[in-house]
Amino acid sequence: MSALDHTAPIEVQIALGERSYPILIGAGLLSQASAWQGLPKASTALIVTNDTVGPLYAPALQLALKPHYAQIHQVTLPDGETHKTWQTLNQVFDVLLSQGCDRKTVLFALGGGVVGDMTGFAAACYMRGVPFVQVPTTLLAQVDSSVGGKTAVNHPLGKNMIGAFYQPARVICDLSSLQTLPAREMSAGLAEIIKYGPIADMVFLDWIEAHIDALMARDPQTLAHAVQRSCEIKAWVVGQDERESGLRAILNFGHTFGHAIEAGLGFGEWLHGEAVGCGMVMAAHLSHRLGYIDLALVERLTALMVRAGLPVVGPNLGVETYLHHMRVDKKAEAGDIRFVLIDSPGHAKVQGAPDALVGEVIRQCCQA
């Protein structure tokens, strides 16, 4: 049992007017009754999970929900990004419809970002919108994907291209669930935590550097602070720009290069967080070459990625392949690639850069 068990969860609020909601963070929340009070009222709940996470945590979630819902159904999807499709999404609608679920039914997303994004999209669509609750079980999902209301499935022609902005009613981050996460997935989540430092909070970057070993060792107290501060920063950004008309794009630091790595290698070869980690190193180099930041900050970020178990050398896809994939990134405008750059430590902006300069960064940062 950790020191955090039986203490009140940490609460971070997402302030979006009538769509506001709390993020609860703590160890052992799946079995802490107070975390499950005040959920949307309904007779029916549907747990959406996958065949890895379901056997580990669905029985505990069933128990947590039992006092609140007369009927609790469950749909267990196949695990993996390759199943984040319309076809798999239909399995959720099949259960909802075959069980006669009404428009008050509450969906619970139990899993990582794949389950969370799909459940949120199912909730946005079913009967034109039913409530849903995020119960993220990966570090990446706890610090990023479960918060902020981006939901989607993939299309054969593009990742996350079919989706909606649709906010959950609550996010419940049980830190204890991270104990079963594979090491590679922990590192992928750390990439998204590190991201918040250079774009928004250099004091947090100092703290991550000082605590990276404890984070890697999954110390609950240290994880609690990392998840809390990450969610606070994401809440601050999303509260100002829910639908990414401007500021929210800074959350995509490292994602333009990262997207090219994922797409160029074939999705699933590198984890999303791994590609983002390496992409942040590349974006930091570009920021330096544009004169915004010192080389010392680039080297600092690179060293931290290494300590977090993340790759810092990109695959050798060739400059043209990188540029091709970056042109279809969602931030691109009329084919012009737009990068999230650090324009001063702790602050980011979105802008284009000359292809020749981007090519130099790619050659510098990728395997020969």
Binding site for ligand GLY (CB under 6 A): 144, 148, 150, 248, 251-252
Asked about 330 being catalytic, the answer comes back as no
Going by C-alpha positions, the residue among 76, 62, 172, 177 that lies closest to residue 118 is 76
Write down the catalytic residue from 195, 225, 229, 234: 234
Q: Which of 144, 244, 262, 274 binds ligand NAD (CB under 6 A)?
A: 144
What's the gap between Cα 352 and its chain centre? Answer: 25
Does residue 277 touch ligand NAD according to CB under 6 A? no
Does residue 31 touch ligand NAD according to CB under 6 A? no
SS3 at position 314: strand
The one of ligand GLY, ligand NAD, none whose footprint includes residue 180, by CB under 5 to 8 A per kind, is ligand NAD
The one of ligand GLY, ligand NAD, none whose footprint includes residue 220, by CB under 5 to 8 A per kind, is none
Asked about 192 being catalytic, the answer comes back as yes
Give φ, ψ of 208 to 5 degrees.
-60, -45
CA angle at 340 for the pair 224 and 112, rounded to the nearest 5°: 40
CB 181 within 8 A of CB 292: no
The one of ligand NAD, ligand GLY, none whose footprint includes residue 228, by CB under 5 to 8 A per kind, is none
Does residue 52 touch ligand NAD according to CB under 6 A? yes
Asked about 259 being catalytic, the answer comes back as yes
Asked about 255 being catalytic, the answer comes back as yes
Q: Which of 83, 84, 170, 229 binds ligand NAD (CB under 6 A)?
A: 84
Q: Which of 111, 131, 258, 311 binds ligand NAD (CB under 6 A)?
A: 111
Q: What residue number has its CB nearest to ligand NAD?
A: 113
Match 């798999």 to its residue by tokens.
88
Does residue 53 touch ligand NAD according to CB under 6 A? yes
Write down the catalytic residue from 84, 195, 272, 289: 272
Match 């590192």 to its residue by tokens.
187
Asked about 11 being catalytic, the answer comes back as no
The one of ligand GLY, ligand NAD, none whose footprint includes residue 307, by CB under 5 to 8 A per kind, is none
How many C-alpha atoms does 232 have within 13 Å on its Cβ side? Answer: 12
Q: How far is the CB of 163 from ligand GLY (least distance, A)?
A: 11
271: left (phi over 0), alpha (psi -120 to 50) or beta: beta
The one of ligand NAD, ligand GLY, none whose footprint includes residue 248, by CB under 5 to 8 A per kind, is ligand GLY
Asked about 272 being catalytic, the answer comes back as yes
CB 62 within 8 A of CB 82: no
Structure tokens given for 91: 């399995």
CA angle at 196 for the pair 277 and 283, rounded to the nearest 5°: 45
Does residue 113 touch ligand NAD according to CB under 6 A? yes
Write down the catalytic residue from 252, 262, 274, 325: 252
Q: DSSP secondary-structure letter at 268? A: T
Q: How far is the CB of 274 from ligand GLY (least distance, A)?
A: 15
Asked about 232 being catalytic, the answer comes back as no
Cα–Cα distance, 268 to 266 (Å, whole number) = 6
Cα–Cα distance, 194 to 91 (Å, whole number) = 35
* DSSP bridge pairs for 107: 46, 132
Write down the catalytic residue from 259, 289, 300, 325: 259
Cα–Cα distance, 256 to 280 (Å, whole number) = 9
Does residue 262 touch ligand NAD according to CB under 6 A? no
Structure tokens given for 217: 């060792």
Q: CB under 8 Å to 265, separation ≥6 — which residues?
A: 315, 317
Active site residues: 128, 150, 192, 234, 244, 248, 252, 255, 259, 272
Residues making contact with ligand NAD (CB under 6 A): 50, 52-53, 56, 79, 81, 84, 111-115, 117, 137-138, 140-141, 144-145, 148, 150, 160, 177, 180-181, 185, 188, 272
